Structure 1
Amino acid sequence: MEHPILTAIRRAGFTPLGWFEPGPEDRAPEDARFIILIGNAGPEMFRRFARERDPSRDKMNDWTRDTVQALGRDLDAKAAYPFDLEPPWPFLTWARRAGAGFSSPLGLNIHPAYGLWHAYRAALLFPVVLDLPVQDAGPHPCERCVGKPCLSACPVQAFDGASYNVPACAAHLATAEGQLCVAGGCLARHACPVGQGFAYAPAQAQFHMRAFLAARQEA
């Protein structure tokens, strides 16, 4: 039987992606005795967002903050977000500590079950240690992937296994040829064989692509 806190997180539309007891080296808030990373994996969170807000106008970060604050009050937990602190909280470091994945050749976190089709939206910070089993991410899936199709799928070779050419990617998305990526999502992500069952539906992929382009224009 699943822990009731994990069940409550899922009922709120989020996926519990990993958890751990932070130590001094983890740069967590001093009163955090236990951290659960939550976010999206597949379509469930986006479906709730689209029901409650207008994806063509509203920002997911605003909805996330409102929704997670309410969830935190119900669970007696505080929240930290990857988007509202400079320098940001070390979510990818926390992911390694939580057994929630590895760094992929694209620079994105790759989860052993969800592949590249997940994202961290918040961390729930508990004042007590929860009775949850230690997670093990298992072997790095990219080390067993001989062909590395993610590195050859991008039409403008924005990924070389060591860096991400953001300007080249953004410029391509603004062209007629780039509309395939805008409509269906990043071709490099789609090329990864891990977690294909959690790939974003077109509406979700388009939302994130539009947000990426808008952020580039504001930069």
Structure 2
Amino acid sequence: MKTDGVHPNDSAILAHHGLNLQAVFDLCALPADLLAAIDTEQPVAGYRQLLLFAHGGRDLWQAIADSGDLTGEHPIDRFSVDTVSRYFDEENPASRYRLLYPLQPGTLPLQQLGKLAGWHHASPFRIGVNARWGSWFAYRAAVLADTAFTPTLVMDGASPCDSCMEKPCIAACPVVSSAGEIPLQACMDERLKPGSRCAMSCLARTACPVMAVARYEPEQIAYHYGRSLETIGNYRRR
């Protein structure tokens, strides 16, 4: 267990490279089912904390673009892993750590961790939202560490959907049901249609007014939705 080093919230490396959302959890304080799921991915013995890293807004994409390293199969994962590794190696060199996500295959419950951090509130368009970043954030790394950092506070704010009366996301979605819901299968079907406006973006998501100023650049939106469209297509061809 290490007591020195730079807290993720104070890291110049993380901030400079766009990993501007960080949460620190004591393993002993996690719900039993969540801890068991993590232990299934990687035994937690010998570690004290779980550190969760995410990005909000456009900074990460800009940092990757500035590095000139948007090539290869998983450039965002690679950049995120390199950044977290630099954070430990340069700002916490005495700490022992193990990367769980995105390196470890499996089903690490990222959304459950996001809920504990206050980052994730359910939305009608099936993407987590919060008042600080809207839906424009994503999980980038999860790490077991023998650190002894002060656990981070839960992000303030209730779900922004609770106070949204007009629900423009629902109005914008072409497959919304009569009950005002967006069925997952219908969403995937629509995205796979030739010429679909939902193929390379999400009309419901871009209609959401919460923190529209943080919306990804068009190139980033096209990148993420292009990847997910490929995944859907591969899944349907099985």
Q: Shorter-chain TM-score category?
A: 0.7 to 0.9
Residues 137/16 of structure 1: CA separation in 2 closer, same or farther (3 Å cut): same
SS in 1 for 2:184: coil
1:26 paired residue among 13, 23, 34: 34
- Alignment correspondent of 2:10: 7
> Structure 2: how far apart are the matches of 1:163 and 1:70?
41
- Alignment correspondent of 1:217: 233
Letter in 2 for 1:25: D
- How do 1:18-167 and structure 2 match up within 5 A? 18-22=23-27, 23=30, 24-27=32-35, 28-29=38-39, 30=44, 31-55=46-70, 57-59=72-74, 60-74=76-90, 75=92, 76=95, 77-81=97-101, 84-86=104-106, 88-157=107-176, 161=181, 163-165=183-185, 166-167=187-188
TM-fit CA distance, 1:54: 4.8
Length-normalised TM-score, structure 1: 0.80
Assess if the C-alpha contact under 8 Å between 2:133 and 2:211 holds in 1: yes
58-67 or 89-98: bigger deviation? 58-67
- Alignment correspondent of 1:169: 190
Assess if the C-alpha contact under 8 Å between 2:99 and 2:143 holds in 1: yes
Q: Which has the larger radius of gyration?
A: 2
> Structure 2: how far apart are the matches of 1:109 and 1:81?
18
TM-fit CA distance, 1:32: 3.9
How many aligned positions are there? 211
Letter in 2 for 1:147: E
CA RMSD, Structure 1 to Structure 2 (Å): 2.8
Assess if the C-alpha contact under 8 Å between 2:21 and 2:56 holds in 1: no
SS in 2 for 1:143: helix
> Structure 1: how far apart are the matches of 2:68 and 2:164?
39
SS in 1 for 2:8: helix
Length-normalised TM-score, structure 2: 0.75
Letter in 1 for 2:23: G
Ranges in structure 2 where 5+ consecutive residues have no aligned partner: 1-5
Letter in 2 for 1:157: V
Assess if the C-alpha contact under 8 Å between 1:156 and 1:168 holds in 2: no
139-148 or 3-12: bigger deviation? 3-12
Residues 83/218 of structure 1: CA separation in 2 closer, same or farther (3 Å cut): farther
